[in-house]
Amino acid sequence: MTVSRALNRPELVSEATRERVRRAVRETGYVPNQVAGALASSRSRVVALLVPTVAHALFAEVVQTVMGVLVPRGYQVLLGLVGYTPTEEEGVIETVLSRRPDGIVLTGCHHSALTHQRLAASRVPLVEIWDMHEAPIDMLVGFSHHAVGRAVAEHLLARGYRRLGVISADDARAERRIDGLRERLAEAGQEALPLRRVGTPSSMPWGREMAAELLDHHALEAIVCSSDILALGVIAEAQSRGLSIPHDLAIMGFGDSSYAAASFPALSTVRIDGATIGRRAAEQLLERMARPQFERSGAVEDVGFSLVDRATT
């Protein structure tokens, strides 16, 4: 019992006793059985953090921030990759819920009917992130992709660009940005919007290849990309054709990656504060997990976004 107190409630044990226990732990190589502890307390001290990919710096930033908040509070973070399709997400959610985490941070708020049903019935505190919805399953910290699309269109229209093309990853959130872009362009009388889609995660070669297709078949004044890495490919293709950026072709990215400002010309893009999203999601989850009674919150926090106007527009 004294050893248990020294390991789990050290403030109840004298420093001399704590040191004796620490020495015994080192000598024996003892590791506490967290599964047994979870069964006794009905708490796993595990939070599942589910993102589409860690190949994108924005999601890596969220991972770092969430862990930076939760780990010092005694939680371990179980990282899962849900990809970009409902089928991939369903399988990961089923596995995660079977592990009985104390909480879940999940990228996106548009799920299959089965995933929505499982999460709603699980009674596990949940924060959906990186999206916007009026009726989240539990809590939501994110931004509106539709609003991003409208803002990008407004930005380009204000600078006189009318003939726009789009290169986008095959991703539901990117599709909502395209919907916002189309909506604002239609309001301005600009109906045509040539579009090329690529797989996920995106790459610079895909950006260049799709830019070549668009420029070969359309007289465009600007190309909007669903990620900065695609936009770099567009810059490379435009420069290979001797096009002046932005006079012959304007280019817009998304994400404000670390290399966006250092590209040549410097890339105009949309900045998302991934650190704030991760921090607020972790803080909301901690507050909910501390409550003795389970109850759905319905709290929605919109952290917004900002347009970064650089040399490519």
Residue 40 has pLDDT above 60, yes or no: no
Residue 55 and residue 98 in one domain: yes
Which residue blocks in the chain are alpha helix, DSSP H?
A: 2-8, 15-28, 34-41, 57-70, 86-98, 113-121, 145-158, 172-187, 204-217, 228-240, 274-289
What digits encode the pLDDT tens for the residues 1-20? 898 888 877 888 899 999 99
Q: What integer pLDDT is reported at residue 251 of this predicted model?
A: 98
- Burial of residue 119 (CB within 10 Å: 0-12, 13-18, 19+) is buried
How confident is residue 39, by pLDDT bands cut at 50, 70 and 90? very low
The alpha carbon torsion through 292, 46, 172, 83 (nearest 10 deg) reads -160
Residue 42 has pLDDT above 70, yes or no: no
Residue 100 and residue 119 in one domain: yes
What digits encode the pLDDT tens for the residues 129-186? 999 998 999 999 999 999 999 999 999 999 999 999 999 999 999 999 999 999 999 9
Residue 25 and residue 74 in one domain: no
Residue 313 lies in a domain: no
Residue 112 and residue 78 in one domain: yes
- Model's pTM, two decimal places? 0.85
Residue 308 lies in a domain: no
Residue 190 has pLDDT above 70, yes or no: yes
Residue 95 and residue 117 in one domain: yes
Average pLDDT, the chain: 93
Lowest-confidence segment of 107-111, 125-129, 294-298 by average pLDDT:
294-298
| C-alpha 34, offset from chain centre | 29
Residue 39 lies in a domain: no
Residue 131 and residue 212 in one domain: no
Residue 88 and residue 74 in one domain: yes
Q: What is the mean pLDDT of residues 90-98?
A: 95
Residue 153 and residue 208 in one domain: yes
Residue 149 and residue 200 in one domain: yes
Residue 170 and residue 251 in one domain: yes
Residue at 151: amino acid letter: A
What percentage of the chain has pLDDT greater than the value 90?
81
Q: What is the mean pLDDT of residues 261-289?
A: 96
Q: What is the mean pLDDT of residues 90-116?
A: 95
How confident is residue 111, by pLDDT bands cut at 50, 70 and 90? very high
Residue 312 lies in a domain: no
Q: What integer pLDDT is reported at residue 33 of this predicted model?
A: 59
User: How many domains in the chain?
Assistant: 3
| Residue that wins the pLDDT comparison between 24 and 244 | 244
Residue 138 lies in a domain: yes
Residue 199 lies in a domain: yes
Q: At what angle do helices 113-121 and 86-98 cross, to 10 degrees?
A: 20
Residue 140 tokens read as: 């939501």
| Residue 189 falls in which region: left (phi positive, over 0), alpha (psi -120 to 50) or beta | left
Range of the domain at 295: 44-143+275-303
Residue 309 lies in a domain: no
Residue 83 has pLDDT above 80, yes or no: yes
Residue 97 and residue 138 in one domain: yes
